[in-house]
Structure 1
Amino acid sequence: MSSAELASGGRQNVFGYVMRLIARVPFLVVGGRLYGAEDLGRFAYATMTVEFAAALALVGLKRGLALALARARQPETHVLADAALLTVGAGGAIGAILFLFPGLMFPSGLRFEAERFLALLVVLIAILDLLLSGLAFHRRIGVQVMSRSLVEPWAISIAAIALYYTPLQPVGLLCAYALALVAASVVAWIPAVREFGLPRGWRPSGRRLSAMLKENLPVAGADVIDWTTRRLDLFILGRLAAPEVVGIYYVAQQVASLAGRLRTSFDPILAPLLSQALARGARAEAAAHLAQVGFWVITFQLCVVMMIGVAAEGTMGLFGPAFAGGGVVLVLLLLAELAASQASIAESALIYTRRIVNLAVSLVALGVEAVVAVWLSPVWGGAGAATGLLAAMVLMAVTKQVLLVRTLGTDVPMWRLSILVCAVPAFAYGWATRSLPSEAFHMFATGFGLPLIFLGLMWRFGFSDADRVLLRRQGRERGR
């Protein structure tokens, strides 16, 4: 497996990331300016709860499915059917709890009785993620790009605008969310059925299901803890602050997560390559994959972090006057995303090699986040919650990198000195643009000039030929 194969899969999802960025920003603008911070805060907390329930329902199979398929102990359709049965069972049980106790989704109470039906989306989300993981194992990365990065974000933005002018306006954001997920699921189901076919001859087996569940529980724990670590700040803030504060924090979180999605762009191609390399005992090959992806992700993510962070106040102001004060929160969340990337890439291998230790590290980090966020949120508001997340991410990044190196027996150099050297002049330029007389001019100069300077210097002085293959289409053909 060469850098070209990683580049091919990553390039498709980086394209998807750009498309998701273009589509997600209009939704945040619509949510902030049309619906307001309070409605956006209720939407944020409710959808966070539903997505957490879906993460629980997957019982680790979002990443564990690749290893189950790689072992080929039974036909792939049967493996997928077992995984789907586990997911539907877990998702149905968790969704029923949310339906019966809607206060878990809406701490301030239901506005309409129909809002409790949001719980039905738990199974839909979990099965969608499961199918996309199965398709990614067969390098069908384009389906995820189409489903999650094109159809879903554009559908939610268009639906939110349309529903605002209908009697459904009070629940317009929630209805738009449901419609977008249905559209994304349709896009994923069709190629999944064509790729895997129907599970003919499959029969449920309690023994197989128990074995699959037991094997994936450590991965499930790591996935849930990682997910919780990234949402605990919003949960704590939702319990300690008004919906308006939660709405402002949610916008900052969504903008910051656009940088984090650069990392997840490589997950669909990295998971099968790592699982196959580790199954063969090729740890040096796995380390090379991780180092290459880590360098790509950190380079481009640092570019986005500087570009957005330097113009943080202006960026938040795009969503309405009430959001402009969230600039400090946005900067803290951007730094947390940068640290989270290194931790997550290291974890991509640790979930296969050191599951229990990886889980323990994540639990400690989760505890640190909870303590810091609860301590600082009443004093600093959103900035306190973001500081808790940043502390947890830095702890995980350092600890898991050390653990990864010891596990694989070789260095995994994701950071290189060239990244920092090239970042200095780019950041200096971005900071200098803050003196421009107009905020619009400042954002324009930063948005175009800073990445041009940084990536231009990296292309000339920081990238090797193996690194440049990510941005060259011919890399895909060479990797075939």
Structure 2
Amino acid sequence: MSSAAPTDTPVDSSQPVGADNVDETAALAKGGRTSFFGFLLRLLARLPFLFIAGRMSGYGADALGRFAYATMVVELMAQLATLGLKRGLAAELAKDERPENHVVADALVLAWAGAILGSVLLIALPWIVFPNSRISGIDRWFPLIALAVVASDVSLAALAFRRDIAATVRARSVVEPWTLSIVAFGLAFTPVGGDGLIIAYAVSLTFAMLASVIPLVRSFGLPRGGWWPHPGRLWRIARANAPLAGADVADWGSRRLDVFILGRFAPPEVIGVYYVAQQIASLPQKLKTSFDPILGPVITTNLARGDLGVVAGHVRQIGFWIGAVQLGVVLALGMTGRAGMGLFGPAFAQGAAVLALLLVVELFAAQAAVTEGALIYVRRGANLLWSMIGLVVQVGVTLVLVWYFERTGRTSLLAVGAAGGLATAALFLSIAKTQVLSRALHAKVSGWRWSLIGAGVPAFAVGLGVQLLAEPLQLSVGILAILGVFGAIVWTTGFKGPDRLLFRKGKA
């Protein structure tokens, strides 16, 4: 894999963030803007789905909880099957040793092979996917949708290497979520009942796969010219990506273990409420993933040149961009949490405390996620080790809290315990991974700035006032007021020079 051996020469981190390479900073900003637009589109489609699943007859919290657990298991299997290639493919393509469409074809074969093995296992043991409910014929074959998931993941990773971020926006922010909402709505009027959510999910991922593979073939072409999936070559790629695959699974698992543990202690209704809170809270996390497609290619290119200082600068820049936008979103959604959760039904309003905790998780996890975007290329083993330690921390804290609340009869707080364990692990990993990357690059990598506090405190004060309003006003005027105050202050006091490239075209 492409990497650079860190030197012992300290890098000057006092220069303006992104000043090392303004062209690349502009490219990162452009990629982030494109994906951020996709994030907004995804938000517009995801909220109707949650409303349909929570409110419409035939669905509700129970059906949503069953859907959440089943999709969690299948997505975990798909994550394992991709073998880290969602991020590792950029390094394989950067080697420029073989035709690019040959490398992409190898990646697809590996991912499909893993998905087939995983699907066969889950089809043979369907109770793993649906532990506390009946299993119909449709349910048994549901794991096969992992084939579509991995095909889409690898295709979009390859297109991102060529900086085609628009393909990701179309597939993940338009085709997938809108298909999910439309099909779920249509099936609500049929006899399929709660299985309608599962069917809608499978249909949406199939369409997303088509929206990913078609532009892949157009861009790279078919793997002609003597390509053949040689077992030895495939094994080398799989082995080289093993640490990255482990880190991906650990990171993904940290976002799903809470649901898994709840599934063993709590009824489906509690899981359904937690799932809605999780979906809302994960919206700020989508801001970080907006930069993933463009960050990998930029970092691998600079590491191949040995420009460690440039890499550190890009990590600091993106860390600040994400932190600034996330903090505003977290304040707006957190301060109006009860009103927001209540949109999906009276049973969901009780999840306001869980929502607040999960939003804090996203704030803690942002820096760890950004630093990992570089760490996977310079310290893969260390990144995997810390990811696994973080997973242990999360499991330990979550089990203790959930066990305590269950033993004391406070089942309504089981979801709070799961969120609390996740928050503890997120803070731990944020500190640990930032320190590891900083030592590897001999430069500051944290994107934190005190101007964020200067904007956050007034916005929090506005949020306290917003909570006195009626719930419809909180969700309309209130959210805009919190975001407006935060945005105005952070723009004037925090965004300087290259920082503003995120919101405008051209160079600073």
TM-score by length of 1: 0.97
Matched with 2:389 is 364
Q: Is 1:22 paired with 2:55?
A: no
Q: Which runs of 5+ in 1 are unaligned?
A: none
Deviations 1:297-348 (A, max 9, x none): 0100111100000011111111100000001100000000111111111111
- Whole-angstrom distance in 2 between the partners of 1:154 and 1:204: 35
Deviations 1:155-207 (A, max 9, x none): 10011000111122331001110111111111111110011100002012122
Matches within 5 A, 1:141-220: 141-200=165-224, 201-220=226-245
Matched with 1:353 is 378
Tell me the CA shift for residue 114 of structure 1.
2.0
Answer yes or no: is the 8 Å Cα contact 1:23–1:157 preserved in 2.
Answer: yes
Matched with 1:462 is 494
Matches within 5 A, 1:282-301: 282-301=307-326
3-state SS in 2 of match to 1:413: coil
Q: Could you tell me which of 429, 436, 455 is aligned with 2:462?
A: 429
Matched with 2:26 is 4
- Whole-angstrom distance in 2 between the partners of 1:281 and 1:130: 27
Answer yes or no: is the 8 Å Cα contact 1:103–1:110 preserved in 2.
Answer: no
Q: Could you tell me which of 142, 145, 148 is aligned with 1:124?
A: 148
Deviations 1:266-316 (A, max 9, x none): 000101101111121111111111111111101001111000000111111
Tell me the CA shift for residue 398 of structure 1.
0.4
- Whole-angstrom distance in 2 between the partners of 1:238 and 1:278: 43
Matched with 2:441 is 408
Q: Is 1:133 paired with 2:166?
A: no
Answer yes or no: is the 8 Å Cα contact 1:147–1:188 preserved in 2.
Answer: yes
Matches within 5 A, 1:16-415: 16-34=38-56, 35-200=59-224, 201-378=226-403, 379=405, 380-415=413-448
3-state SS in 1 of match to 2:227: coil
Letter in 2 for 1:446: G
Letter in 2 for 1:20: R
Answer yes or no: is the 8 Å Cα contact 1:57–1:123 preserved in 2.
Answer: no
Letter in 2 for 1:54: A
Q: Which has the higher helix share?
A: 1
Question: In angstroms, what is the RMSD of aligned CA positions?
Answer: 1.1
- Whole-angstrom distance in 1 between the partners of 2:133 and 2:165: 40
- Whole-angstrom distance in 2 between the partners of 1:59 and 1:3: 29
Matches within 5 A, 1:437-448: 438-448=470-480
Number of paired residues?
475
TM-score by length of 2: 0.92
Letter in 2 for 1:10: G
3-state SS in 2 of match to 1:435: coil
Answer yes or no: is the 8 Å Cα contact 1:92–1:123 preserved in 2.
Answer: yes
- Whole-angstrom distance in 2 between the partners of 1:194 and 1:265: 23
Tell me the CA shift for residue 36 of structure 1.
0.5
Tell me the CA shift for residue 113 of structure 1.
2.3
Letter in 2 for 1:459: W
- Whole-angstrom distance in 2 between the partners of 1:413 and 1:391: 19
Answer yes or no: is the 8 Å Cα contact 1:102–1:110 preserved in 2.
Answer: no
- Whole-angstrom distance in 1 between the partners of 2:335 and 2:222: 51
- Whole-angstrom distance in 1 between the partners of 2:449 and 2:212: 38
Deviations 1:129-159 (A, max 9, x none): 0000000000000000010011111110011
- Whole-angstrom distance in 2 between the partners of 1:2 and 1:275: 12
Deviations 1:227-261 (A, max 9, x none): 00111111000111100000000000000001111
Tell me the CA shift for residue 91 of structure 1.
0.9
Answer yes or no: is the 8 Å Cα contact 1:260–1:337 preserved in 2.
Answer: yes
Letter in 2 for 1:231: R
- Whole-angstrom distance in 2 between the partners of 1:434 and 1:164: 34
Letter in 1 for 2:440: T
- Whole-angstrom distance in 2 between the partners of 1:62 and 1:55: 9
- Whole-angstrom distance in 2 between the partners of 1:178 and 1:229: 24
Matched with 1:471 is 503
- Whole-angstrom distance in 2 between the partners of 1:402 and 1:355: 14
Answer yes or no: is the 8 Å Cα contact 2:151–2:213 preserved in 1.
Answer: no
Deviations 1:389-439 (A, max 9, x none): 001100000000111110100112301111111111111111112122x12
- Whole-angstrom distance in 2 between the partners of 1:168 and 1:204: 41
- Whole-angstrom distance in 2 between the partners of 1:375 and 1:36: 29
- Whole-angstrom distance in 2 between the partners of 1:103 and 1:111: 8
Matched with 2:408 is none
- Whole-angstrom distance in 2 between the partners of 1:150 and 1:465: 33
Letter in 1 for 2:437: L
Q: Could you tell me which of 450, 456, 477 is aligned with 1:417?
A: 450
Letter in 1 for 2:44: I
Q: Which runs of 5+ in 2 are unaligned?
A: 1-22, 406-412
Tell me the CA shift for residue 443 of structure 1.
2.6
- Whole-angstrom distance in 1 between the partners of 2:184 and 2:266: 25
- Whole-angstrom distance in 2 between the partners of 1:321 and 1:62: 39
Return structure 1 stretches of 4+ with deviation > 6 angstroms. none
Tell me the CA shift for residue 2 of structure 1.
2.8
3-state SS in 1 of match to 2:241: helix
